[in-house]
């Protein structure tokens, strides 16, 4: 059992949040396990313990412990040590329900669409013909599909996407709100394709909504707005908008490039409005419950 000798770790996180150090000498998993008894273990079907928490993991937890010298533990655990929250449920708290959705959904990811700052709008949805500077999408999968996106795109209601329109604040403030200031502060570290950054200062999706009213929304059955554009999405687009300072909105189209730093800036990242689909508007206050909690976000740039 456990022919792990061929696995090697090349990078290890150091105590400075988010940074990495290259491990120059090879360390095998076997070396790290030491004399652990590998014949006694617990087994269950569970989920990833980090978002998107897919129910996709066969867990094996060994009864025996790895014995490490106390001095080494003190040297490697950042002070004060962060206590890992207990896993009390096989489901993560990140998800959406209510608002007429047939069942609960778990959040998969969020992303943004923009045009060119506040001067060229880039939202994918329009309200009464009005396009907005930016739009945030939170993509969720039917909880019963256990994170299986292959099944989700074959189900007309397999995915539920939330669309939040973003417009510039009219009070001439800059750097507001704080959650967007925090989010945009990472853009300068993902200016080229393939770069990624760990967000070290926690940002919750709720904080990005900045008090937006969730009881007034539009609902229609539609498709993904990126290839393969499957007709598998229950769309909910909120009538209220997130108000963000113009300077922060401008950062998106002025900071990141479509390839390396010599390439053009990433602008107009949205799909145009499609031909008319029947759209319903929420008639009674039935707020969507977005129990989005604290989601540790990771930003990455990729080519669409």
Q: Which of these ranges, 23-31, 69-77, 225-233, 254-262, lies near Zn ion under the rule CB under 5 A? A: 225-233
CB atoms within 10 A of CB 119: 11
Residue the block writes with tokens 């996106």: 149
Name the CA dihedral angle for 90, 94, 99, 101, rounded to a multiple of 10 degrees: -50
Comparing CB distances to Zn ion, the nearer of 53 and 237 is 237
Residue 270 Cβ, how far from Zn ion at the closest point, in Å?
Answer: 8
The DSSP output letter for 8 is B
Parallel/antiparallel/unpaired status of strands 95-98 and 288-291: antiparallel
Residue least distant from Zn ion (Cβ): 137
Comparing CB distances to Zn ion, the nearer of 169 and 271 is 271
Residue 39 Cβ, how far from Zn ion at the closest point, in Å?
Answer: 48
Q: Which of these ranges, 23-31, 37-45, 140-148, 224-232, lies near Zn ion under the rule CB under 5 A? A: 224-232
- Contacts of residue 94, defined as CB under 8 A and 6 or more positions apart, other chains included, come to 51, 52, 53, 106, 107, 205, 291, 292, 293, 295
Q: Which helix (H) or strand (E) is 236 found in, with range?
A: strand 233-244
Using CB under 5 A as the binding criterion, the count of chain residues that bind Zn ion stands at 2
Comparing CB distances to Zn ion, the nearer of 137 and 219 is 137
Q: Which residues pair with 244 in a beta bridge?
A: 168
Q: Is 125 in the site for Zn ion (CB under 5 A)?
A: no
Among 137, 142, 219, 243, binds Zn ion (CB under 5 A): 137
How far, in Å, CA of 98 to CA of 303, rounded? Answer: 34
Q: Which of these ranges, 188-196, 211-219, 222-230, 242-250, lies near Zn ion under the rule CB under 5 A? A: 222-230
Residue 282 Cβ, how far from Zn ion at the closest point, in Å?
Answer: 21
- Residues forming contacts to Zn ion in the complex (CB under 5 A) are 137, 225
């Amino acid at each position: 059992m456990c022919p792990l000798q061929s696995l090697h770790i090349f990078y290890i996180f150091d105590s400075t949040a988010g940074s990495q150090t290259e491990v120059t000498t090879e360390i095998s998993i076997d070396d790290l396990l030491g004399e652990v008894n590998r014949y006694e273990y617990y087994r269950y079907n569970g989920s990833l313990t980090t978002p998107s928490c897919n129910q996709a993991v066969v867990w094996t937890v060994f009864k025996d412990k790895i014995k490490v010298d106390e001095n080494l533990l003190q040297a490697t655990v950042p002070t004060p040590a962060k206590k890992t929250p207990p896993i009390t449920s096989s489901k993560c708290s990140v998800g959406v329900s209510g608002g007429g959705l047939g069942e609960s959904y778990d959040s998969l990811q969020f992303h943004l669409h923009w045009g060119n700052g506040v001067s060229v709008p880039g939202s994918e949805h329009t309200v009464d013909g009005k396009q907005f500077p930016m739009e945030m999408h939170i993509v969720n999968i039917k909880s019963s599909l256990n994170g299986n996106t292959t099944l989700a795109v074959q189900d007309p209601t397999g995915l539920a996407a939330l669309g939040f329109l973003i417009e510039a604040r009219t009070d001439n403030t800059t750097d507001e709100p704080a959650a967007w200031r925090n989010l945009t502060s990472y853009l300068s570290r993902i200016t080229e394709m393939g770069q990624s950054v760990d967000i070290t200062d926690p940002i919750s999706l709720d904080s990005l909504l900045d008090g937006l009213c969730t009881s007034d929304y539009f609902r229609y059955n539609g498709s993904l707005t990126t290839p393969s554009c499957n007709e598998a999405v229950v769309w909910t687009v909120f009538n209220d908008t997130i108000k963000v300072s113009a300077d922060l909105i401008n950062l998106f189209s002025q900071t990141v490039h479509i390839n390396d730093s010599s390439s053009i800036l990433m602008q107009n990242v949205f799909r145009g409005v499609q031909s008319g689909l029947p759209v319903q508007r929420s008639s009674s206050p039935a707020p969507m419950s977005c129990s989005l909690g604290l989601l540790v976000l990771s930003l990455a740039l990729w080519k669409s």
